[in-house]
Amino acid sequence: MTAAAAVRHWCTGLLRNAAILAARPLALAAAVAVLTLIPHGAANADGHAYRKVAPSADGIGKTYMGREIAGVMGWQAAAWLERPERMQEERPDLLQAELGLQPGMVVADIGAGSGYHARRMAEAVGKTGTVYAVDVQPEMVQMLAALARDERYGNLKPVLARVDNVQLPPASIDLALMVDVYHELEFPFEVMRSLVRALKPGGRVAFVEYRAEDPNVPIKPAHKMTEAQIRREAAPHALAWERTSNVLPWQHIVVFRKKG
């Protein structure tokens, strides 16, 4: 069984086990309310406030630096991350080439989901390297743990993050990758602060987001970002813009390096 097929099989099992949640709509609604009623107006260390607004169809009703934060794709849709069309729509082969991964590197896939990119990174850094596969959803982390039991991905380490912290050791990683993830972070400033802390001196972080500058990219506006917005939100952190690549069909790759 291929890794992608194994993930789809695992998703089916999780969905079956999740049927019990359907019998508890009030409890589920309460859980969602807890997540969405976290205070929105508090200022961050950079002086920018989260603001509460009327939610759009695809947003959570909370803005940061003028951008409404998008809703998170739930683990129930994990099989969609493994769709065959993704090879052509996103060209993960070109992304991996742009990242310049080398054997022995310690890297992190933030918002790793089903492990679509994490397992490719694991192959690139080899047995002497490490891939931290980070996600905030316990069900996704279960999938990643199952993937890590495959001997091909023994260098993959699943990590359950918090909504405001990636939960990685300080100065531990050479590169962090976020593919279609940053725009959904409920606490982008806090997550980035923890991520920069986890980077080694000179370490890199790569934002991969659908290009909002291009109206022909067939993605909902809340799930797209301009390069200018990415750079604006990275500015409060100890990061220096390094380069932007538009080699991918619909996404840009915006790379920053940790200062110092």
Element of type H or E holding 157: strand 156-160
Low-confidence stretches of the chain (pLDDT beneath 70): 1-47
Q: List the one residue out of 126, 111, 101 whose CA is nearest residue 167.
A: 111
pTM, two decimals, is 0.83
Q: List the one residue out of 250, 170, 175 whose CA is nearest residue 208.
A: 250
pLDDT of the residue at 42? 52
**Angstrom distance (rounded) from CA 181 to CA 179:** 5
**Apex CA 212: angle with CA 206 and CA 218, to 5°?**
105
**Where are the chain's structural domains?**
3-9+73-258
pLDDT of the residue at 34? 32
Strand partners, 62: 52
Q: List the one residue out of 173, 169, 176, 170 whose CA is nearest residue 105.
A: 173
**Angstrom distance (rounded) from CA 28 to CA 212:** 33
**Angstrom distance (rounded) from CA 69 to CA 58:** 9
| Contact (Cβ atoms closer than 8 angstroms) between residue 193 and residue 45 | yes
pLDDT of the residue at 21? 33
pLDDT of the residue at 3? 54
Q: State the Rg of the chain over Cα.
A: 18
pLDDT of the residue at 45? 53
Q: What is the dihedral of CA 168, 225, 208, 201, to 10 degrees?
A: -50
> 118-125 vs 92-99: helix axis angle to the nearest 10?
40
Predicted confidence (pLDDT) per residue in 104-134, tens digit: 999 999 999 999 999 999 999 999 999 999 9
- In the CATH hierarchy, which fold is given to the domain comprising 3-9+73-258? Rossmann fold (3.40.50)
